[in-house]
């Protein structure tokens, strides 16, 4: 066993793993594509689009060939990895445990999860880039078709999994929407809305949630009377209540509960927030959006906390976030369109929160650089150490920034007034 060079084993296993991962990405992207999407690529003049259309007509045969190739490569890589461990001179049981552990990690993360996530986010791009490989696998599969047919006759067909059934049904419905969309009298917006409904079945809630860094929270030991000010400044009607840190969410405070309490019993204004907040609901970040939408509707829950694989808070999700995935962004009647930079007075500028800090530096006649953030809003948030609310002020990198009004349903600061800070360098960022 030790006669096989270690370098050769490592090199071949890495090559096998990479090719297997590419095959998984190629198959996943092919399963996500609809006929209409490929036809759009053809109209755009994308190279390989016509070849991809041919593969789409033979989707099942291509998928079987790709899976067979992936299994062969994955098996070869596992054997190479196991043999490589024999060079360490360890007892057989150590080699067995190491090979099982490493091969499982490689099979699950490197060959399965990561390539699928990449393909699901950019199915058209991945499919176009892997078209030659898919064509090769299809031709190779035809050479081995007699063997495949033999096994298909001898072995019983495997039952279709829920995921496969869901994917197949979603693809069929996409095709129906695309075909109906080509008829007259079917508006483009209606077609896009229907497609968005079906896309929810492949969208994880972590893709649409409010990330942890953008969450507005309130401490559990704050008096109810002071909570009103946070509601007014933030514009939210529900705010998570935390204990020691963001990962310690003890409840959800509702604006209507606070107003009702203060109206009925003004003497309870000194009560703590933790005493009137409602129980929080938690959901894993890998939950599918359509499943969570139905669950929230049935449970009459408007806000849930999204937890990551380690049990920490990854963000929060509202039922409005899910609805926006279908109908598009919902704006408040007081929201304004994105503004252009405006000079209010000499050296004082109003800029959008997403305005690049280097361009702000050009307006102020100074150089602004930061390795962690790119926007003015990000710089303000970094300087404050929390999500800025209207009226918040901070100084960083020689810039004096004041947050203005919040915009959008998520009530994020839309514009910031910035000017050169007149302070000593030692005071910067305080």
Residues 272 and 368 in one domain: no
Handedness of CA 319, 312, 310, 409 (dihedral sign): positive
In a domain, 180, yes or no: no
Residues 352 and 314 in one domain: no
In a domain, 41, yes or no: yes
Beta strand extents in 130-288 (DSSP E only)? 210-211, 218-219, 238-242, 249-254, 282-284
In a domain, 130, yes or no: yes
Dist. CA 99–CA 83, nearest whole Å: 9
Task: Yes or no: say if 360 and 376 are a contact pair by the CB < 8 Å rule.
Answer: yes
* Residue-number span of the structural domain to which 418 is assigned: 342-427
Q: Dmax over Cα atoms in the chain, in whole Å?
A: 84
Task: Yes or no: say if 397 and 379 are a contact pair by the CB < 8 Å rule.
Answer: yes
pLDDT of residue 174: 57
Q: Could you report the per-residue pLDDT of 68-107, keeping only the tens digit for each? A: 888 889 899 999 999 888 888 888 888 889 989 988 998 8
Q: Taking 80 as the threshold, does the pLDDT of residue 330 lie above it?
A: no
Dist. CA 289–CA 222, nearest whole Å: 34
- The tokens describing 241, both together, are 């209540």
In a domain, 336, yes or no: no
- The tokens describing 88, both together, are 């360490």
Q: Domain tally for the chain?
A: 3
Sheet of strand 393-396: strand arrangement: 342-345, 348-352, 415-420, 399-403, 393-396
Reported as a pLDDT band with limits 50, 70 and 90, residue 423 is low
CA 309 from chain center: how many Å?
A: 14
Residues 284 and 313 in one domain: yes
Residues 250 and 300 in one domain: yes
Percent of the chain with pLDDT over 70: 78
Q: Could you report the per-residue pLDDT of 176-216, keeping only the tens digit for each? A: 555 555 555 556 566 566 666 666 666 788 888 888 777 88
- The tokens describing 53, both together, are 């259309």
Reported as a pLDDT band with limits 50, 70 and 90, residue 426 is very low
Task: Yes or no: say if 313 and 247 are a contact pair by the CB < 8 Å rule.
Answer: yes
Dist. CA 239–CA 278, nearest whole Å: 10
**293 in helix, strand or coil?**
helix
Question: Mean per-residue pLDDT for 35-43?
Answer: 72
CATH number at residue 413: 3.30.465.10
pLDDT of residue 18: 93
What are the residues whose beta carbons fall under 8 Å from the beta carbon of 363, sequence distance 6 or more? 341, 343, 349, 351
| Residue finishing a domain among 157, 184, 219 | 157
Q: Taking 60 as the threshold, does the pLDDT of residue 325 lie above it?
A: yes
Q: Could you report the per-residue pLDDT of 369-418, keeping only the tens digit for each? A: 777 777 788 888 888 777 777 777 888 888 888 887 766 555 567 788 88
Question: Mean per-residue pLDDT for 338-352?
Answer: 77
CATH number at residue 269: 3.10.580.10
| Residue finishing a domain among 123, 138, 157 | 157
Q: Taking 50 as the threshold, does the pLDDT of residue 159 lie above it?
A: no
| Residue finishing a domain among 303, 327, 351 | 327
Q: What is the DSSP string of 175-205?
A: HHHHHHHTSTT--HHHHHHHHHHHHGGG-BG
Reported as a pLDDT band with limits 50, 70 and 90, residue 157 is very low
pLDDT of residue 17: 92
In a domain, 168, yes or no: no
Q: Taking 60 as the threshold, does the pLDDT of residue 337 lie above it?
A: no
Q: Could you report the per-residue pLDDT of 46-72, keeping only the tens digit for each? A: 778 888 888 877 777 788 888 888 888
Distances (CA, A) of 57 to 142, 156, 233: 15, 26, 56
In a domain, 166, yes or no: no
Helix (H), strand (E) at residue 83: helix 59-85
**27 in helix, strand or coil?**
helix
On average, the pLDDT of the chain sits at 77
Q: Could you report the per-residue pLDDT of 256-291, keeping only the tens digit for each? A: 888 888 888 888 778 888 888 888 899 888 888 888
In a domain, 322, yes or no: yes
Beta strand extents in 268-386 (DSSP E only)? 282-284, 303-307, 313-318, 342-345, 348-352
Dist. CA 388–CA 420, nearest whole Å: 19
Q: Could you report the per-residue pLDDT of 296-321, keeping only the tens digit for each? A: 888 888 889 988 877 788 888 988 88
- The tokens describing 91, both together, are 């007892």
pLDDT of residue 183: 54
Distances (CA, A) of 392 to 180, 275, 313, 380, 405: 50, 28, 25, 9, 10
Residues 223 and 357 in one domain: no
Reported as a pLDDT band with limits 50, 70 and 90, residue 155 is very low
Q: Beta-carbon neighbour count of residue 133 at 10 Å?
A: 16
Residues 24 and 150 in one domain: yes
HEC string of 370-413?
A: CCCCCEHHHHHHHHHCCCCCCCCEEEECCEEEEECCEECCCCEE
Please list the residues that pair with 345 across neighbouring strands. 348
What angle is formed at CA 305 by the lines to CA 303 and CA 308, rounded to 5 degrees? 150
């Amino acid at each position: 066993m030790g006669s096989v060079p270690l370098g050769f084993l490592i090199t071949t296993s890495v090559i096998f793993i990479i090719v297997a991962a590419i095959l998984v990405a190629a198959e996943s992207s092919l399963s996500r594509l609809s006929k209409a999407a490929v036809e759009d690529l053809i109209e755009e003049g994308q190279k390989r689009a016509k070849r991809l259309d041919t593969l789409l007509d033979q989707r099942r045969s291509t998928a079987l060939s790709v899976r067979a190739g992936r299994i062969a490569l994955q098996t070869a890589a596992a054997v190479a990895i196991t043999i490589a461990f024999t060079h360490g001179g360890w007892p057989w049981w150590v080699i067995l445990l190491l090979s099982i552990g490493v091969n499982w990690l490689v099979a699950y993360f490197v060959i399965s999860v990561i390539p699928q996530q990449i393909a699901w986010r950019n199915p058209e791009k991945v499919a176009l880039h892997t078209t030659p490989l898919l064509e090769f696998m299809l031709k190779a599969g035809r050479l081995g078709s007699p063997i495949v047919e033999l096994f298909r006759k001898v072995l019983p067909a495997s039952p279709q999994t829920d995921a496969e059934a869901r994917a197949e049904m979603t693809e069929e419905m996409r095709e129906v929407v695309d075909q109906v969309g080509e008829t007259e009298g079917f508006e483009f917006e209606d077609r896009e809305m229907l497609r968005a409904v079906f896309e929810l079945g492949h969208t994880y809630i972590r893709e649409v949630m409010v990330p942890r860094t953008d969450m507005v929270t309130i401490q559990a030991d704050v008096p109810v009377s002071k909570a009103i000010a946070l509601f007014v400044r933030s514009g939210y009607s529900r705010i998570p209540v935390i204990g020691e840190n963001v990962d310690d969410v003890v409840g959800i405070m509702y604006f209507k509960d606070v107003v009702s309490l203060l109206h009925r019993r003004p003497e309870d204004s000194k009560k703590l927030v933790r005493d009137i907040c409602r129980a929080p609901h938690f959901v894993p970040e890998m939950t599918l959006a359509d499943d969570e939408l139905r669950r929230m509707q049935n449970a009459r829950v408007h806000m849930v906390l999204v937890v990551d694989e380690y049990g920490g808070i990854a963000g929060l999700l509202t039922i409005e976030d899910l609805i926006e995935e279908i109908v598009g962004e919902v704006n408040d009647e007081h929201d304004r369109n994105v503004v252009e930079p405006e000079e209010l007075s000499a050296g004082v500028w109003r800029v959008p929160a997403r305005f690049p800090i280097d361009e702000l530096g050009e307006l102020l006649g100074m150089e602004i650089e930061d390795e962690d953030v790119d926007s003015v809003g990000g710089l303000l948030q970094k300087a404050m150490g929390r999500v800025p609310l209207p009226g918040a002020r901070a100084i960083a990198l020689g810039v004096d920034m004041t947050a203005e009004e919040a915009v959008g349903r998520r009530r994020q600061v839309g514009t910031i007034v910035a000017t050169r800070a007149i302070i000593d360098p030692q005071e910067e960022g305080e």
